[in-house]
Amino acid sequence: MNTLHQSFSVRFTYDVYFTESLFDDSNNTLVSFLQSQQTEGIRKKILVVLDSGVADTHPNLSRQIANYFTHHPVAELVSEIITVPGGEQSKNDESQVDRLVDAVDRHGIDRHSYIVAIGGGSVLDMVGYAAAISHRGIRHIRIPTTVLSQNDSGIGVKNSINYRGKKNFLGTFVPPVAVFNDSSFLTTLEDRDWRAGISEAIKVALIKDKAFFDWMETAATQLAARDKEAMQYLIHRCAELHMQHIAGGDPFEMGSSRPLDFGHWSAHKLEQLSDFSIRHGEAVAIGIAMDSLYSRHLGWLSESDTQRILNLMETLGFSLYHPDLENEAVLKGLSEFREHLGGRLTIMLLEGIGKGVEVHEMDTDLIQQVIAELKASHQSYQSALSTESQPA
């Protein structure tokens, strides 16, 4: 037998910058990065894609971006700033990808140029996917504008859109060339979006860092009250833990293990069943509650630790139940999760706070029992709130 064997490795490097008012003329963070990437004899273009929700809450942003590149002419800013729907809508509508590919073609965006995405995690996912498939890969800069995207999705290596009714069915593993976390974008978030991103920090703390979880318990009231310094620490630490995992594990998910998806098998399905009326982070909080209770039923997680987890999420304002949990299709999330990973089912559970453990099967009867517990707890909580609100 005559065989040719090929083996090579590719090194990926990128930085995540933490700053404020990125497009203020006096802020050199972005311009310094672009200067470091300059190639002699090549004039690079920049195509900016903007989340519609960000455009609405920051109506002067497009003008600020144009002024910034007029003041710092380190690259050629394409005059058309493309606005795309915010939230999961951008990932559900494949025509949005076609719009971006068309813009790449019309404006002559080559592989040495940049596509800059400014928005929440869904917009970053979609724009990153369009960048990855255009010319086999255009350099992608992410500017996350939500807690969830600044501490989790925006600093990773995955890009995707939803397709055929399945979450992240089409996608790529392509790292950004840089990420810029601008804390000023967080000030205009709705309370739901401020809160939703915290669930990913709880997730990574539960499987990797007990001290971080302990800190969140002490800072829960501050976080719920939108304390800026507390949130900046949470985002930085959460991003740090995610990046450490990416570097030391399986960044392109060649295996069937995704420990960072603790609580996600049900969350992805719940998002779909709710027609994405529930935020990703809200669904993840419910998924964390489910898998924590499941771990307790297996005898792996103590009653006191389980209660600490549930109490923290309730203090932060999360609802740990949604009516669509009672849809039998929720259990299809297990098979879809296995299919998405490839190979056998691998689910992360807990042996303690800060200590995750992988299993390869789930008892559907026990899952239904956990859902019933969450429903009963929710009804009890709602009843108590109703009693408190009644006049004496």
Q: What φ, ψ does residue 134 adopt, rounded to 5°?
A: -85, 125
Residue 37 confidence (pLDDT) above 70 = yes
pTM of the prediction?
Answer: 0.90
Of 158, 188, 218, which residue is a domain's last? Answer: 188
Residue whose C-alpha is closest to residue 288's, from 224, 253, 308, 235: 308
Residue whose C-alpha is closest to residue 239's, from 147, 168, 173: 147
- Average the pLDDT over 21-48 and give the result: 93
Residue 184 confidence (pLDDT) above 80 = yes
Residue located via tokens 């549930």 = 310
The chain-wide mean pLDDT, for the chain, equals: 92
Collect all residues with Cβ–Cβ distance below 8 Å to 323 and sequence separation of at least 6: none
Among left, alpha and beta (phi > 0; psi -120 to 50; other), residue 333 is alpha
237: domain CATH number is 1.20.1090.10
Same domain, 273 and 344: yes
Collect all residues with Cβ–Cβ distance below 8 Å to 205 and sequence separation of at least 6: 212, 213, 216, 238, 241, 353, 354
List the structure tokens of 349. 């559970």
In a domain, 1, yes or no: no
Q: Output 259 or 206, whichever has higher pLDDT.
A: 206
Same domain, 118 and 145: yes
Pair type for strands 45-51 and 82-84: parallel
Q: How many domains does the chain have?
A: 2
Question: Do 16 and 83 contact (CB within 8 A), yes or no?
Answer: no
89: domain CATH number is 3.40.50.1970
Question: Do 290 and 268 contact (CB within 8 A), yes or no?
Answer: no
Same domain, 212 and 307: yes
Question: Containing domain of residue 345, as a range?
Answer: 200-389
Of 188, 223, 249, which residue is a domain's last? Answer: 188
pLDDT of residue 389: 63
Same domain, 251 and 182: no
Same domain, 226 and 350: yes
Residue whose C-alpha is closest to residue 122's, from 114, 130, 133: 130
Same domain, 137 and 216: no
> pLDDT for 255-311, tens place per residue?
555 777 899 999 989 999 999 899 999 999 999 999 999 999 999 999 999 999 999
In a domain, 8, yes or no: no
Q: Taking the CB of residue 240, how many other CB atoms lie within 10 A of it? A: 16
Confidence at 391, pLDDT banded by 50, 70, 90: low
- Average the pLDDT over 38-42 and give the result: 83
pLDDT of residue 384: 73
> pLDDT for 88-139, tens place per residue?
999 999 999 999 999 999 999 999 999 999 999 999 999 999 999 999 999 9
Residue 341 confidence (pLDDT) above 90 = no
Alpha carbon separation from 371 to 18, 293, 321, 325, 331 (Å, rounded): 39, 9, 8, 7, 11
Question: Do 239 and 335 contact (CB within 8 A), yes or no?
Answer: no
pLDDT of residue 385: 67
Alpha carbon separation from 250 to 38, 171, 292 (Å, rounded): 31, 17, 24
pLDDT of residue 47: 98
> pLDDT for 127-176, tens place per residue?
999 999 999 999 999 999 999 999 988 998 999 999 988 888 999 999 99
Same domain, 98 and 125: yes
List the structure tokens of 179. 């990420």
> pLDDT for 364-390, tens place per residue?
999 999 999 999 998 887 777 667 666
Question: Do 122 and 87 contact (CB within 8 A), yes or no?
Answer: yes
Report the sign of the C-alpha dihedral through residues 210, 193, 140, 126, in that order: positive
Same domain, 170 and 276: no
In a domain, 6, yes or no: no
